Amino acid sequence: MNINPFDLLKNAQNIQSQFGKVQEEMKQISETGVSGGGIVKVTMNGAFEIVSIELDPIAVDPRDVPMLQDLIVAASRDAHSRIQEAIKTKMGPMLGNMDIPGLNV
């Protein structure tokens, strides 16, 4: 059985390109979760990134709602980044520092 290393490299590049396209397509998907009878709404994209949070003013002081929304989104993104980095640090050597979809920051 003859294996051409150039064919393997070309196939790997194609697979990597396809993964990149899938990752971009996943970011275009959007769903909104609801809790508290609609008092809290969280919208997330297909890459599991929180893109917005809506709080009914009845749940908090209305003067603080926009700031609270921004803080929740920022804290969620920070936690997500920190978890990704921790996984890369811990598992990177075991995986040979491969570019794993969902773990690239």
* Residue 53, strand partner residues: 42
- Print the domain residue range for 76: 5-91
- Nearest to 51, CA basis, from 29, 67, 35: 29
Residue by residue, pLDDT tens for the chain (105 residues) are 577 777 777 777 788 887 777 777 777 788 899 888 888 899 988 777 888 898 888 878 888 888 888 888 888 989 988 888 887 887 766 655 555 555 554
Q: Considering the domain boundaries, does residue 52 fall inside one?
A: yes
Q: State how many domains the chain has.
A: 1
Q: What CATH code is carried by the domain that includes residue 21?
A: 3.30.1310
Helix or strand run (H / E) with residue 54: strand 50-55
The pTM is what? Answer: 0.54
Q: Considering the domain boundaries, does residue 100 fall inside one?
A: no
